[in-house]
Amino acid sequence: MLNYQEIKALFPAAVLADSPHPIDEITYFRHKNQYIGIPNSEFTPREKQLLKLLLPQSKLSVDNKLWYQILFQHKTIKTQESYRLIQVKFQQADPLMLKAWQNEIKEILPALVDILVLERQQAILIEAFSGEPFSAADLKGIFLALDTDFTFSTKLFVGPFHQSDHDFTNLLQEEKQLFTFGEDYLRTVKCVTLPQLSVPYFSIHSAQDSYLLASLYKDWFASDELLEIIPALWSNHGNISSTAKVLFLHRNTLLYKLDKFQIETFIDLKNIDQLFLCYLILINYHY
């Protein structure tokens, strides 16, 4: 059997790891109690077949595949938490640096439950809702710093939080379409979100056919507390004082309700893009 040093001599980019990592650009082979990882670009298909004969190819455990099944095979989630999907696309990403990048992300975002590196150019971060998750602006700053540290160039799509009873395969599919649209529509923007894209995207796509919007309606408007406030706020162009007057509410009472909604949903109705998104959802799924 070949040892690691012999393989390293044949494939200089080979690495030795304690466990295989879910990176599609690297193939892992079991070696004693560890794993040898070789970037797929380093060997031909024939060489890969020969290595399989000499070394058993490792398989990722079911645990590592759980969120792959949730996101791509309609597997249901058993927990009661809410999650958001953060899509990351890379330019000039070295696959051998991706593991270090993942470790750094986990330190910065402790609520991450998994990271799927689907290919060299794309990753999906799955984050559970915790007390004060980072805003899109915060994440933009974080990834700008990481780009400098790892000499990557990244673009992000930060999705909304979804309750766990939805079909995340359908949600990801639509959010991927939004990200692709956003890359063309907001080419110079590093971090894009659903509220930023809701006007241009749903002006050419049917909001009534959107699984994403339908799921957000169920998540955000189970209570009827905001059903009067949102259209009134929209009609008054987001003006708090005018809206409070129309609804016969004290201004501070209205602000309290808006702040409560923001804590629960991470949506700020004082932001015109986020207000429009909620109004769009209500006129398609409630009124």
Residue 169 CB contacts under 8 Å (≥ 6 apart), including other chains? 70, 71, 72, 73, 74
Q: How confident is the model at residue 120 (pLDDT cuts 50, 70, 90)?
A: low
pLDDT cut 90: percent of the chain above it? 61
Q: What's the pLDDT at 63?
A: 44
Give residue 78's pLDDT band: very low, low, confident or very high (50, 70, 90): confident
Statement: residue 226 has pLDDT above 70: yes
- 29 DSSP β-pair partners: 36, 57
Architecture of domain 62-201 in this structure: 2-Layer Sandwich (3.30)
Q: How confident is the model at residue 238 (pLDDT cuts 50, 70, 90)?
A: very high
* Residue 19 pLDDT > 80: no
Question: Which residues lie closer than 8 Å to 262 by C-beta, 6 or more apart?
Answer: 268, 269
pLDDT bucket at 60, cuts 50 / 70 / 90: very low
Distance from C-alpha of 281 to C-alpha of 207, rounded to nearest angstrom = 8
Side by side, the strands of the sheet bearing 34-39 are 15-17, 34-39, 26-31
Is pLDDT larger for residue 93 or for residue 252? 252
Provide long-range contacts, Cβ within 8 A and 24+ apart, for 179-182: 179/87, 179/89, 182/157
Measured CA to CA, the distance from residue 157 to residue 178 in angstroms comes to 8
What confidence tens digit (pLDDT) does each residue in 179-213 have? Answer: 999 999 998 999 999 999 999 999 999 999 999 99
Mean pLDDT rounded to a whole number for the chain: 88
Pick 202 or 119 by higher pLDDT. 202
Average pLDDT over residues 129-137: 90
**Stronger pLDDT, 65 or 253, i.e. the higher one:** 253
In the predicted structure, residue 62 carries a pLDDT above the cut 70: no
Q: Residue 262 above 90 pLDDT?
A: yes
**pTM for this prediction:** 0.78
Quickly state the pLDDT bin for 234 (edges 50, 70, 90).
very high
Residue 274 banded pLDDT, cuts 50, 70, 90: very high
CA angle 253, 255, 259 (to 5 degrees): 120
What is residue 102's predicted lDDT score, i.e. its pLDDT? 86
- Beta carbons of 35 and 19 less than 8 angstroms apart: yes
177 pLDDT more than 60: yes
Dihedral over Cα of 175, 176, 181, 186: its sign = positive
How is the chain split into domains, by residue range? 4-54, 62-201, 221-285
